[in-house]
Structure 1
């Protein structure tokens, strides 16, 4: 039963936004704490311990079969290459399953129950990571849980606002800050525990973070203006049953083109948790006044920059809108991809002509990550907002799932590309990433007029 006090609470604004936004903010913050805490350790854990010797590999149920399958396709894999492939499969599949998680919510469980199911599965997966023999089973639970959780938490942000509300882009930027607040603290907590005290302590901390997110979501459910039942159970389904118009099909086609181009963006971007993480571990000076920073702390740099830059960028975009000089959503995404490529160009300059046995200054990583972070802010939250705004109402969940599906291919491609890290010269590898980012941005710019006709300027 909804009381008058509940209604007043729902209608009260916090910093100009409904309180439900901040329920989702903290829920996603803790979920991302768990995800990025585990991810900060994943490549290091596999390459330095789990896959380092045949004895430890033999303890993992199902690993021999997976390795045989991968090597039948790609040839013999070193510990680093195998770790990169598994990293790509894992980070890819966590973006593959949201397509089906959106369908599950739209047709059967509803968004709220699907989010709760996803959180429970992910918490179980993080705690199961503490058992070496269950490593692949734990990854499977995390993949399935993320599939339930991810599209339905993001879609709920859009459901808090009317379609033409100018606060929507800002809301997704604030929501994105929640993601990165969790991502900032997780390497500092989980990374430190895992690298200095034992891998399993880091994984346990990630599990506790996911349980905290579930508690926040359940406690603040009254502030979420969403349908707790699936679409097919709603009282008036007739408007939703109408066939898609020609323009709506055109819109879906435009979103599909953007999703395809998004693949290359994520293939380059996700090197931060893969090849660049290894570069920081072995080829970067991290000592300050005699103290050596754990290499996993590098992964706190990107989210820290987002928390600093996101409010400034949101304010900058608002001023552009008032002056009538705002870039369209498509143009912002193109700029984001180009900036990502430029970030890797900094790495090319950093390693060119440097003896591979020598370590470079961490300052180079700082500058490169700063540029990549700006690129991420121009593309990722804007893309999420665009999908929510442009997708036909009855296909919002599936459209969001399609967007994350493109990240599946991008993340797997990141793992495949990362397997070349040991086999290529460092400047050649980073130059390849530069080219892929730049090509993606130029392609979006070239298709901008057609894409804006399909999905709008945003």
Structure 2
């Protein structure tokens, strides 16, 4: 059996930095494509787009992102039981790249088949994502022995790769596609994925050894399954998972306006000129990752300083809803400045502060998500309850696009956007109040699991840096 190279870099196995690079470039491709998707669909045919209505574009975007969140469950199962993580990553990366390059085919080469080829490209991206996404993170934990104190730091480094890719993509892929040629942007996204794939093909054997080659189900075949009957405490904890999963739909349905309605608002109603230079509408999607990198250490240190007064998980959920509402009320303020006039363009600071508040909400809520499931779920139902969590996350992406699609067209857009911003903001406030008032009972139903979280700064920073990963289903739960 080939073992991973024993060399280290900054105190960690070199394989960690291989996985860091692989994941960074994969997320670079995905977030770059996502930054362009809605804008490409609504752009006129004269400008190289499809000329779809906002409603058509947003609803397709919703179905696409919903599928993106569901397929890793299938891909993880295939890797665990049949092909192993390493093959899943390679095949996923290849299919991912094909999807991006398919979107990058100029329309002049596929006259009469433009939409068919476009749908094929999206389908390939969905399939590639399913094979790739959950399996890279599972390899990170396998680089370390159980109890290795470096593991938490390793995941912090890995999650930084996700955020770095998410930050760089909209300001490179998005700008190229939006300002030069849509297809060039998709091709650049594909090139990013190819870089990550090349890293795996050329360096994995050296730095990962046999890790992830054999399906994990074969390695654990002899392990005894947990067949103990459910206790009343187990049932209470499962109730908490289901309740919090349903509440999370409200948050993500608002948060995910970033890729749809917020991007349309940035394109149509925002003054994006600064010092004579116009910022591409897609670039605003970099703000979330930038704020995560900037604010995660601050939020983590705040929780540590609070010590025993740190809010419980349900109260953090409630706080996240408050920040979500504040972001939408900022956008409501922007529409009030417009006064219903579609010709008026507002300051980009409205979007900047909306993204800031939403990121603060994400930093409160997202680290709790999957870790809550693994802490509370009875062992024999962990996979089922993880699947339910992913289902609700996927549902929230569809719901986000469905809500955003009511923005309409033309003269009605500003007033419709105002109604959406107000409705989601009020809904978030009410939901947050309900969660806050229910927090005591929810903690009681956790039966002590709430007190299991670490209060050291390193662990807290890792939790906060991980928010993009946990939102996407990429987490240490795959260890």
TM-score scaled by structure 1? 0.82
RMSD of aligned alpha carbons: 3.3
Please name the residue that 1:215 is paired with.
198
1:82 aligns with 2:56: yes
Task: Return the alpha-carbon distance in structure 1 between the equivalents of residues 138 and 439 of structure 2.
Answer: 25
Of stretches 178-187 and 153-162 in structure 1, the one that deviates more from structure 2 is 153-162
Counterparts in 2 of 1:113-132, with a 5 A limit? 113-131=87-105, 132=114
Contact 2:139/2:212 (<8 A) preserved: no
Contact 1:255/1:387 (<8 A) preserved: yes
CA distance 1:143–1:412, shift in 2 (3 Å): same
Please name the residue that 1:407 is paired with.
393
Please name the residue that 2:37 is paired with.
42
Contact 2:260/2:401 (<8 A) preserved: yes
1:108 counterpart SS class = helix
CA distance 1:437–1:121, shift in 2 (3 Å): farther
CA distance 1:417–1:120, shift in 2 (3 Å): same
The offset of 1:165, in angstroms, is 8.4
1:425 counterpart SS class = helix
Please name the residue that 1:338 is paired with.
322
Of stretches 219-228 and 306-315 in structure 1, the one that deviates more from structure 2 is 219-228
Task: Return the alpha-carbon distance in structure 2 between the equivalents of residues 159 and 244 of structure 1.
Answer: 31
1:349 aligns with 2:323: no
Please name the residue that 1:63 is paired with.
none
Out of 198, 204, 215, the position equivalent to 1:230 is: 215
The offset of 1:147, in angstroms, is 1.9
1:311 aligns with 2:297: yes
Task: Return the alpha-carbon distance in structure 1 between the equivalents of residues 385 and 196 of structure 2.
Answer: 25
Contact 1:47/1:83 (<8 A) preserved: yes
CA distance 1:308–1:417, shift in 2 (3 Å): same
TM-score scaled by structure 2? 0.79
Counterparts in 2 of 1:308-387, with a 5 A limit? 308-320=294-306, 323-355=307-339, 356=341, 357-387=343-373
Task: Return the alpha-carbon distance in structure 2 between the equivalents of residues 438 and 158 of structure 1.
Answer: 38
Q: What do residues 322-365 of structure 1 show as CA deviations (whole Å, max 9, x unaligned)? A: x3333344433332232112111111123225332211111121
Q: What do residues 37-66 of structure 1 show as CA deviations (whole Å, max 9, x unaligned)? A: 00111111000146999x957xxxxxxxxx
Please name the residue that 1:25 is paired with.
20
CA distance 1:441–1:313, shift in 2 (3 Å): same
Of stretches 398-407 and 202-211 in structure 1, the one that deviates more from structure 2 is 398-407
Please name the residue that 1:70 is paired with.
none
Contact 2:270/2:346 (<8 A) preserved: yes
The offset of 1:2, in angstroms, is 4.3
Of stretches 274-283 and 21-30 in structure 1, the one that deviates more from structure 2 is 21-30
Contact 2:227/2:380 (<8 A) preserved: no
1:297 counterpart SS class = helix
The offset of 1:134, in angstroms, is 0.7
Task: Return the alpha-carbon distance in structure 2 between the equivalents of residues 439 and 121 of structure 1.
Answer: 43
Q: What do residues 182-232 of structure 1 show as CA deviations (whole Å, max 9, x unaligned)? A: 111111111121112211100001111112222344535745996543343
Please name the residue that 1:64 is paired with.
none
Contact 2:2/2:210 (<8 A) preserved: no
Contact 1:260/1:406 (<8 A) preserved: yes
1:238 counterpart SS class = coil
Q: What do residues 390-426 of structure 1 show as CA deviations (whole Å, max 9, x unaligned)? A: 5556766665444332221011111111111125533
Contact 2:35/2:174 (<8 A) preserved: yes
The offset of 1:251, in angstroms, is 4.3
Contact 1:346/1:367 (<8 A) preserved: yes
CA distance 1:439–1:20, shift in 2 (3 Å): farther
The offset of 1:122, in angstroms, is 1.2
Task: Return the alpha-carbon distance in structure 1 between the equivalents of residues 244 and 144 of structure 2.
Answer: 24
CA distance 1:147–1:243, shift in 2 (3 Å): farther
1:435 aligns with 2:435: no
Please name the residue that 2:66 is paired with.
92
Please name the residue that 2:473 is paired with.
none
Please name the residue that 1:191 is paired with.
174
Task: Return the alpha-carbon distance in structure 2 between the equivalents of residues 224 and 442 of structure 1.
Answer: 51
